[in-house]
Chains A and B, each alone.
Chain A
Amino acid sequence: MSNFLNLSDSHRPEHTGTDPAIESREDPLLDFGSFIDPDVISDGPEAVVDHAPDGDQQGQETSTNRESNIDPKSPEPRTPLHGAPVTGDQDLDRNQKTSEPLHPPQSTSNTAAMTDSVNVEKRRNPAPAKPTATVAGTPDSGARRVKPGADPASWLPQGWRVEDRMRNSGATAGTVDKYYFDPVSGFKFRSKKEVFEFLETGTTRKKRKAMENPDADMNTSGGSGKRKSKKSDSKALNFDYSNVPEKVEWVLTDSLQDSWSPCIGDVKVSEPSKRDWMAAFTFQSTKSGRTKI
């Protein structure tokens, strides 16, 4: 594994900041530079687009909006502890809480999209079309442009933010990328497909990769890729390690199920934070392997 990583690193030294899980997938189009196409929906080319390493674009993009402090790599904060991924329905609920529906008709189709986003996507875009041109690998700069007609408002859930960012350096300078931000988690997505995948599964692509591929995380220890993946893992926890509270009181609330509720002061810690704590705990436990007595 590490040999392979080194090979690909030397091949493309600028991609050092990539998740190994992603990097391990050799991408024929990488050398042509990557691009973002929010409207891509067929299965081939946009996979290529989405797998373009973060580092590649990070260096090149400038934000036309204020660069938010959202970390682009931050995966899912919702805890993996509780097994089943958060369902799309919950996402919808939260989105509706945060903002009034701007596009009532779309709202229903979003619900549908969450239950079966792929189908809905296809239905809504009966002509997948264009990307085939890019699949062919033509490094023509025109082909890398974002399709101008794509209107995210037509499919994006309410409350989501869109940002246009122009790349200001590199071979693809001048290309405008659209980024989509989930108002709840703050996650950044680079394509419509990524957004729908997130809505459907409740997890980010990177997170799922990490889960499918646990060996990539565990066995590359010592390699430079290891640190990166570790980082993104702990960020997924949404846990602030630096601000340790002075005191936490754990109260046995349901003795039959042995469930404990943390309180700070006299205030019960909210369910989501508790889950974040537990996720962090689980992460720590699995990372350290065992507790010696």
Chain B
Amino acid sequence: MEAQNYSDHPQLKPIQILSGTAKEGSIGPQIGLTDIGESEDAYLFRVALPGLKKNECQVKCNIQRDGKVQIKGLITTTGGVLENSSSIFQMRLNQLCPPGPFTITFYLPGPVDPRLCSPKFRGDGILEVVVFKPRTPNISQQV
């Protein structure tokens, strides 16, 4: 999944011309590109999960108290075969993530309360999650 591997792979060399923002971005793993944001009391992360069919992707999002996030899922998009077509395509360029299960793991900048979490898997293939930081003890003791 290193950017290096992708650009060194012979299959990935030609045929594509990038422009605009696509050109400025580095070639890297198509899946698992991550944004992480922080507010006063919460973290936000977005993970790019292209190629996941919404109803069969089996997405799970493990969130640990220490801020470790593990996203699991299944990519079902298959290379040279189309659903409604009998023809088989020989893949010449294969940058998209191959089908199969995947796991993406990363750490948020600090501890979180994994219960206070609202995952959203948006229609555009971005998983967007807000998870709150744990509350400080002096606030939580409100008895």
Contacts and interface: CB of A to CB of B under 8 A. Distances in A.
Interface of A: 69, 71, 231, 234-235, 239-242, 244-252, 255-256, 258, 260, 262, 277-278, 280-281, 284-285, 288, 290-293
Interface of B: 35, 37-42, 44, 54-55, 57-65, 113-122, 130, 132, 134-135, 137, 139-143
B141 to A, nearest CB: 7
B116 A242 contact: no
Nearest to A246: B65
A284 B42 contact: yes
A245 B57 contact: no
B114 A245 contact: yes
A244 B54 contact: no
A251 B60 contact: yes
A252 B121 CA distance: 8
Contacts, number: 103
Nearest to A234: B142
B140 A291 contact: no
Given A244-B134, A245-B65, A255-B54, A280 B115 contact: yes
Given A242-B135, A249-B63, 11 more contacts: A71-B143, A235-B142, A242-B140, A247-B65, A248-B115, A250-B119, A255-B121, A258-B120, A280-B115, A280-B116, A291-B44
Contacts of A278: 118
B134 A248 contact: no
Contact of B117 (A248, A288, A292): A248
Contacts of B141: 242
A69 B143 CA distance: 9
Given A252-B121, A256-B54, A241 B135 contact: yes
B119 A290 contact: no
Nearest to A284: B132
A138 to B, nearest CB: 39
Contacts of A285: 42, 130
Given A256-B54, A277-B116, A241 B139 contact: yes
Q: Most chain-B CB neighbours within 10 Å: which of A69, A241, A288?
A: A241
A280 B39 CA distance: 17
A247 B132 contact: no
Nearest to A231: B142
Nearest to B143: A71
A167 B137 CA distance: 34
B126 to A, nearest CB: 12
Given A235-B142, A277-B115, A249 B61 contact: yes
